[in-house]
Each structure stands twice: as structure tokens, then as C-alpha cells.
Amino acid sequence: MSLSFDLYWSFRSPYSYLLLPRVVELVATHDVSCTVRIVYPIAVRQADFFQKVDPLWVFYLMKDTYRTAQYLGMPFRWPVPDPVLMDPATRLYPAEQPHIHRLSHLGVAAAEAGRGLAFIREVSHTIWSGTIDNWHEGDHLAQAAARAGLDLAVLDAAIAADPDHYRAAVEANQDAQRVAGHYGVPLMALDGEPFFGQDRFDQLVWRLQQKGLIAR
């Protein structure tokens, strides 16, 4: 029987982006599947999070993400525009979030179509690689969806027809994420054991190997 793990993932998380190539390669080369479970970023779930957090948290995040990208040999730049809109005067995040809500619901739709991992890989590269400005305009997302084997217009239409379904799916993923053992992303969960952060990927593989992971 094939092994399987859950991946709790956010389009606004740089570490989620930095993890993905390793997950994609693992699934491609070994008898294991990955269930993509999209969640909203912490800034959307807790609008005052960055207002309250110690400034060193943000400072270290910026230093570490660029360093990690260099270490992994991945292109990286903070997105233009940011997937989550912030009020610069208050450092609060308004409830109206057109980018992250659309992205998150598209991710759910892609996962339900069986192309979740491919979709988040292509879209996150479009957003985070630094090769595209204004990733939300033109046909950038449509091209990313096509590379993942999906039609963006079909996904958008499904979401427009039943938006409550996609909001509920994200909220259910967030509830399941906490049950799995953490609230942050990326979070990998295997048989009730949480592995939080891109730097826990090797430990996930180690645990999978203990459970009989084999190459394809």
C-alpha cells in the first residue's frame, strides 16, 4: 500500500514555496502521495498578528528566507504585489483580501481536481520566484494553471458558482491542521505526527523510510 501524508500550505508563506520542489520530487520518485490542504495565512486568520509580534520575528524571517533560497538554489523575491494586503498605517490586515482568498480557493479547487500539488508548485513559482511583477494581472495565473494541467477559467467558474464550499473547505483544513499538531505552514502530517517547517522535510522522509518508503 502506498504511503500518504498531508501538506498544510499557504500561498503567502515563503517557506511553503521553498519547500515545494522537494515535495514534488519525493512524490515523483517514490511510492508516496501528498494531499494538499490549503489554509489561509496567519495574517488573515489573525489580523493583528504582525502588529503584536516582536520586530525581530519579521527581521529574521526576511533574512532567513533569502538565505534559505540561496542555500537551495531557488529564485526568490517577496511578491509584487504581496498576496495579502496590509494597511501600512496600522499594520493591520483588512477583511477584504481579493488576492489571497482567490488564490486559496483556487488551490482547493485544484486539489479537488487531483492536481493540487502541481498547481501550487506552478502558481507559487509565478508569485515568489521574482521573475514576474503583477502576477495577478494578464494571463500569468492562467499559464501557471495550464502548466499544472488545469483551466483557470473552469476553476474560477466553479468557485463563483459555490463560494461557500471553498471557504468552508479552507476552514475545515485549518481545523484539521490544529488537530494534526500545529497552526503554521508548511506543515506536513504523517499518521498523526506533525512536521512543521521546510527544515523538517528530511525528518519526514526519514519517518517515511521507517514506514517502508520505496522508490518508484
Average pLDDT value over all residues in the chain = 95
Q: How far is CA 185 from CA 9, 47, 71, 84, in A?
A: 6, 17, 20, 15
- What per-residue confidence (pLDDT) applies to 80? 96
Q: Is the pLDDT of residue 148 over 80?
A: yes
Residue 94 confidence (pLDDT): 79
Does 47 have pLDDT greater than 70?
no
In this prediction, residue 101 carries a pLDDT of: 96
Alpha carbon distance 87, 93 (integer Å): 6
Q: What is the pTM of this model?
A: 0.95
β-pair type (193-196, 32-38): unpaired
Which numeric CATH code is attached to 3-210?
3.40.30.10
Is the Cα dihedral 181, 16, 143, 161 positive or negative?
A: positive
Please report which helix (H) or strand (E) contains residue 203, including its range.
helix 201-210
> What local confidence, expressed as pLDDT, does residue 117 receive?
98
Tell the burial category of 46 from Cβ atoms under 10 Å away from its Cβ (0-12, 13-18, 19+).
Answer: middle
Q: Which residue has the cell 494553471?
A: 145
Residues ≥6 apart with Cβ < 8 Å to 80: 133, 134, 135
